């Protein structure tokens, strides 16, 4: 059988295929290769997809009711809004998969591996998740009512607004997972007699105890304005201060959503504002420490790839920075992630508007930029998984496509 020129059969090679809005109801595509394929709004109801590879595929708003995805790989796939009622995902790989606002009612995810996956707003009512590994997964607003989670690992998962009423949590590991008020004190969201704190869940009463930012942040903004005075973003007339303020905003939002960083949110916000003062101005780490504290100085130093002028060679600096991120703590990763998110976003926007001439702004060419942003994203996604890192990953994919076009002297359409 052929659909839109593609052979539809077991073990079919559909790498990069575009199959939007197609009907593949009850098709047998066991062990098929869908890596990077686009299947938006495709109808795969009842399809046999055992062992299929959907790595980095896009299946947003697709229908897979009753589909068999046993041992399938959905690594980094985008399943936003997908409908998978009654689907079988036994032993499926869902690492870093995006499953926002999806419907997996009565689905089976026994021994699946959704490590770091994003299930925000997803319906998993009565789903069987026994033995699945949800470590570091994001389950904000997820409905797990009457779900079976026997032996399920939810360690360090984000459970804010998660509904677990009637769920079977026998032998489940929820240690170091987090939940935020006002959801934490609504007993109807938990199985009867279940004690979140006794299970090792970090209960955050964030609405009653709002996170506060002090006068140090105001001082830091003034200091950054003074130190970066006259500096602009490469190839523009945009004051450089806009970048550090954008990074601070992103870092504050990320830290506020992570209970582990709540006690450090002021230091993180101040360090984000100052993250380039050591690298790009005469200010030293000691000066930052004396004025803003040792912890702020530590984060700023960790986010700097050079402290001397002239700076070491570009590749040498970037390799050392990436190596350092592999061991950095979450406060440093939070600021670094915010910095790379804003940089990547600006690069994509400007490269699209200007074309291949845009890349002449940088001392390192398009291929070097592809290497650097791919590597730094790999580390940040692995070390600080979650929506912010996934946003970076998607932006960097676009950046790499644009850089590749530039390196072959092709302007984007």
Decide: helix, strand or coil at residue 388.
Answer: helix
pLDDT mean over 387-391: 88
Q: Can you point out the beta strands (E) in 243-396?
A: none
pLDDT for 66 equals: 97
Asked if pLDDT for residue 1 goes beyond 80, the answer is yes
Q: Can you point out the beta strands (E) in 21-103?
A: none
Per-domain residue ranges for the chain?
215-407
Average pLDDT, the chain: 88
pLDDT in tens, 161-210: 777 878 888 888 888 776 654 444 444 467 777 777 777 776 665 444 56
Catalytic residues: 279-280
Decide: helix, strand or coil at residue 315.
Answer: helix
Q: Containing H/E element for 346?
A: helix 330-354
* Between 90 and 381, the higher pLDDT residue: 90
Parallel, antiparallel or unpaired: strands 178-180 and 2-3: unpaired
DSSP 223-285: HHHHHTTT-B-TTS--BTHHHHHHHHHHHHHHHHT-GGGGGGHHHHHHHHHTTTHHHHSS--H
Asked if pLDDT for residue 304 goes beyond 60, the answer is yes
Give the span between the Cα atoms of 124 and 401, in whole angstroms: 35
- CATH superfamily of the domain spanning 215-407: Hypothetical protein af1432 (1.10.3210.10)
Determine if the pTM surpasses 0.85.
Answer: no
pLDDT in tens, 64-103: 999 999 999 999 899 999 999 999 999 999 988 988 889 9
pLDDT mean over 29-54: 96
DSSP secondary-structure letter at 309? Answer: S
Closest CA to 272 of 293, 294, 243: 243
């Amino acid at each position: 059988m052929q659909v839109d020129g593609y052979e539809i059969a077991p073990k079919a090679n559909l790498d990069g295929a575009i199959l939007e809005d197609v009907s593949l109801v009850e098709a047998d595509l066991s062990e098929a290769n869908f890596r990077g394929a686009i299947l938006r709004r495709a109808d795969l109801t009842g399809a046999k997809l055992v062992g299929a590879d959907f790595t980095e595929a896009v299946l947003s708003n697709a229908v897979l009711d009753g589909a068999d995805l046993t041992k399938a790989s959905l690594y980094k796939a985008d399943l936003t809004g997908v409908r998978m009622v009654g689907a079988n995902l036994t032993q499926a790989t869902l690492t870093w998969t995006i499953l926002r606002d999806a419907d997996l009612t009565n689905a089976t995810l026994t021994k699946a591996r959704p490590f770091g996956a994003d299930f925000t707003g997803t319906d998993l009512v009565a789903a069987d998740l026994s033995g699945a590994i949800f470590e570091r997964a994001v389950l904000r607003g997820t409905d797990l009512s009457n779900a079976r989670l026997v032996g399920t690992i939810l360690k360090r998962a984000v459970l804010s607004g998660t509904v677990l009423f009637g769920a079977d949590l026998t032998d489940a590991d929820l240690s170091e997972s987090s939940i935020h008020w006002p959801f934490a004190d609504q007993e109807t969201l938990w199985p009867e007699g279940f004690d979140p704190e006794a299970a090792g869940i970090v209960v955050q009463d964030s609405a009653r105890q709002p996170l506060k930012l002090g006068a140090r942040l105001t001082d830091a903004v003034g200091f950054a304005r003074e130190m970066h005075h006259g500096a602009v973003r490469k190839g523009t007339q945009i004051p450089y201060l806009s970048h550090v303020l954008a990074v601070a905003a992103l870092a504050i939002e990320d830290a506020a959503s992570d209970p582990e960083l709540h006690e450090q949110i002021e230091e993180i916000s101040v360090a984000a504002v100052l993250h380039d003062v050591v690298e790009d101005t005469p200010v030293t780490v000691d000066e930052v420490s004396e004025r803003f504290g040792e912890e702020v100085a530590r984060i700023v130093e960790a986010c700097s790839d050079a402290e001397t002028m002239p700076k070491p060679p570009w590749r040498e600096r970037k390799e050392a920075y990436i190596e350092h991120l592999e061991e950095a703590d979450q406060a440093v990763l939070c600021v670094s992630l915010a910095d790379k998110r804003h940089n990547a976003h600006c690069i994509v926007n400007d490269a699209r508007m200007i074309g291949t001439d845009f890349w002449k702004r940088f001392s390192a060419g398009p291929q070097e930029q592809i290497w650097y942003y791919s590597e730094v994203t790999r580390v940040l996604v692995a070390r600080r998984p979650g929506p912010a890192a996934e946003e970076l990953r998607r932006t960097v994919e676009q950046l790499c496509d644009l850089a590749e076009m530039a390196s072959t002297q092709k302007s984007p359409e």
